[in-house]
Amino acid sequence: LPTTSLVVESEVYGREEDKEKILKILSVVESNDSQMSVIPIVGMGGVGKTTLVQLVYNDESLKDKFDLKAWACVSDEFDAVKVTKNILEAVSSGEKCDYENFDMLQVKLKGILSNKKFLVVLDDIWNDDYGKWDILRRPFLAGKPGSTIIITTRQESVAKIIGHGELPFPSLISLTFVDMSNWEEWHGIEGVINLPQLQELNIRSCPKLVRVPYLLLPSLCELQAKECNELVLNHMQNLESLTQIRLKKIFGLTSVIKAFVEFPFTLESLSVDECDDVVTLWP
Provide CB contacts within 8 A for 191, sequence distance 6+.
29, 32, 34, 36, 37, 38, 39, 148, 165, 166, 213, 214
Looking at residue 165, its pLDDT comes to: 43
Distance CA 6, CA 25 (A): 22
Q: Which of 128, 172, 149 is nearest to 40 (CA)?
A: 149
Q: Which of 157, 188, 170, 174 is nearest to 34 (CA)?
A: 188
Q: What is the pLDDT of residues 38-88, one digit of tens each?
A: 888 877 677 788 999 999 999 999 988 999 999 999 988 888 999 999 999
CB 161 within 8 A of CB 130: yes
Rounded to an integer, the average pLDDT of 29-36 is 66
Q: For residues 7-30, give the mean pLDDT.
A: 81
Residue 201 pLDDT greater than 90, yes or no: yes
Using CA atoms, how far apart are residues 146 and 36, in angstroms rounded to an integer? Answer: 6
Query: Residues 192, 25: contact at Cβ < 8 Å?
Result: yes
What pLDDT is attached to residue 84? Answer: 93
Window from 25-29, 173-177, 248-252 with minimum mean pLDDT = 25-29
> pLDDT, tens digit, for every residue of 124-153?
998 877 778 888 989 998 999 889 999 998
**From 8-12, 25-29, 131-135, 188-192, the region with the lowest mean pLDDT:** 188-192
pLDDT tens, position by position, 233-268: 888 887 888 999 999 999 988 888 888 867 777 889
